Structure 1
């Protein structure tokens, strides 16, 4: 396993992070979820990402159980706050002082730890003054309940504003967690340049584009039984944007590049995002331990510039690059 600094901080995290967004507490039984975490630890992964909203808090509980007994100082645990949890009352979502203060306590209890390494704003809250949000995060850091603060899917402008307030309040905004893959590159135009300037790293999710970049979905064919594209609990909806023959045909053309590098298609996809020097880590999920073992092999891989250029050519215009997509996909009001 290779390690990278998170933003302009002294914290190092593993190039591959294990995340439990669509699996723990919902799609995967607890025993299988714990086996996946054990496989991640065995493979050298030290960084784990979750959120209170995943499976309505159950994912944090499963991760806490899976990591019980591990040396806490050898782990980097990241979780998030914003989306509704619990009975979904009027203050059970967003980035108000009340919700942040109460949510961090719940996350620590479920994770079985007295602090998280990175506490992240899961989205930008348009209904709460940014000053209130950042002051609440400052207090979380000063209390020792989080060591660093990150955000997720914020625009370049929002990252700049949050970073400036964090500096005034005496703490570091070190990371942004966006979707990023060879098919979804919307952060490259504005978010990445701003982040480089400010010393903020990307902690990227869905580097395999919800499984599409594995090549298992074939143009003109039904999705494999049991795959995410057949999952009615949320997976099918998330993957639908890529399930077009024109996309799937382009993805199949990447097989030659993967073979040239002696990589699987999923390893190629994860290695691709790690070529971006503003990316600190790629988050992988898994429903089976062998998926973890396979994807970890992408750590430390160097893809030559000529092959990076070939990937661009092969994918062509099916790649989404519009920087405005970050703002367009963001909530415009607090969810309930």
Structure 2
């Protein structure tokens, strides 16, 4: 397992990072979650990502329990704040000072730790002055409750403004967590070059496009039973945009490329995002320990230029590239 620096900081994280969105506390039982975390640790992963909103706080609790007994200094624990939690009252969401301060305390309790290595703004909050948000993050850092601050799904101008305020307040933004995969490349034109300039790295989610890039979904066929595409608790909705025959047909054209390289299609997909110099880590989740072990093998894989070109040709015009779609995922009004 290889490590990469996160942004322009001294923090090193594993380039394959374990995330528990859509799994812990919802899709899988606690004993399976424990087994997946153990498989990650056994495979050399030391970096774990979660959020207070995942399974309405249950995912943090499950991760904390799974990591109990590990030497705290030997793992990197990331979580996030923004989306509604608890009873979802008027102040149970967003990036107000009130919500941030209450949320970090709740996250630390559930995770069973005195601090998180990275605390992330899960979305941009249009309903709260950015100055208020960044001052709250500065105070969280000074209180020792988070070592570093990052964001998720912020546009290039938002990153620039946030980084400037952070600098004024005596800390730095070091990471951005966007969706990124062979099929979803909206960060490449604006977010990535801006981040590189500002000393911010990407921790990318959904590098396998919700499982579509594994090749297990075949055009014209019913999704496999028990797969994310059949999960009515949230997975089915998230994957629906990719479940079109034109996409699935293109994805199947990646299989010969993976076979020639001795990789599974999932490994090829994870390795692909790691070819981007601005990507510090690929977030992978799992509902079974063997999935973790499989994804770990993508660490250290180099894809030559001709392979990257063949991938582009295979996927053609089903790739989404519009940079405006980054802003589309941040709600324009407070969620309640």
Deviation of residue 205 (structure 1)?
A: 0.2
In the alignment, the residues of structure 2 paired with residue 146 and residue 225 of structure 1 have an alpha-carbon distance, to the nearest angstrom, of 41
Distance 2:70 2:42 in 1: 12
Alpha-carbon separation, structure 1, partners of 2:328 and 2:12: 32
Q: Could you tell me whether the CA contact under 8 Å between 2:125 and 2:330 is conserved in 1?
A: no
Instruction: Report deviation, 1:329.
Output: 2.4
Partner of 1:113, secondary structure, is: coil
The corresponding residue for 1:18 is 18
Question: Which runs of no fewer than 5 residues in structure 2 stay unpaired?
Answer: none
Residue in 2 that maps onto 1:207: 207
Q: Distance in 2 between matches of 1:137 and 1:260?
A: 47
Q: What is the deviation of 1:328? A: 1.8
**In 2: Cα distance, 1:136 partner to 1:211 partner:** 36
Q: CA deviation at 1:37?
A: 0.3
Please name the residue that 2:35 is paired with: 35
Secondary structure of 2:117's aligned partner: strand
Give runs of ≥4 in structure 1 deviating > 4 Å: none
2:52 counterpart residue number: 52
Corresponding position of 1:225 = 225
Separation in 1, partners of 2:307, 2:83 = 39
Question: Matches of 2:211 and 2:226 in 1, distance apart?
Answer: 12
TM-score (norm 2): 1.00
User: In 2, Cα distance between the equivalents of 1:86 and 1:123?
Assistant: 18
Q: Match for residue 3 of structure 2?
A: 3
**What is the CA–CA distance in structure 2 between the aligned matches of 1:307 and 1:94, rounded to whole Å?**
42
Counterpart Cα distance in 1 of 2:191 and 2:100: 25
Q: Distance in 2 between matches of 1:27 and 1:238?
A: 14
Please list every run of 5 or more consecutive structure 1 residues that lacks an aligned counterpart in the other structure.
none
Residue 147 of structure 1 is matched in structure 2 by 147
Q: Is 1:88 paired with 2:88?
A: yes
Residue in 2 aligned with 1:181?
A: 181
Q: How does 1:125-140 map to 2 (within 5 A)?
A: 125-140=125-140
Match of 1:315 in 2: 315
Structure 2 residue aligned with 1:103: 103
Deviation at 1:330, TM superposition (A): 1.8
CA RMSD of aligned residues (A): 0.5
Residue 276 of structure 2: aligned partner: 276
CA-to-aligned-CA distance 1:92-125 (integer Å, 9 cap, x gap): 0000000000100000000000000000000000
Give the deviation of 1:335 after TM superposition.
Answer: 1.1
1:210 alignment partner, SS class = helix
SS of structure 2 residue aligned to 1:272: helix
How far apart, in 1, do the equivalents of 2:4 and 2:285 lie?
Answer: 20
Aligned-residue offset at 1:260: 1.3
The answer to whether the aligner puts 1:249 opposite 2:232 as a matched pair is no
Name the structure 2 match of 1:69: 69
Other-structure match for 1:328: 328
TM-superposed deviation, 1:248: 0.3
Aligned match of 1:304: 304
**Do the aligned residues in 1 keep the contact of 2:85 with 2:93 (CA within 8 Å)?**
yes
Query: 1:116 — aligned with what?
Result: 116
Matched, 1:234 2:246: no
TM-superposed CA distance for 1:172, in Å, is: 1.2
Aligned residues: 336
Q: 2:68 touches 2:112 (CA, 8 Å); kept in 1? A: yes
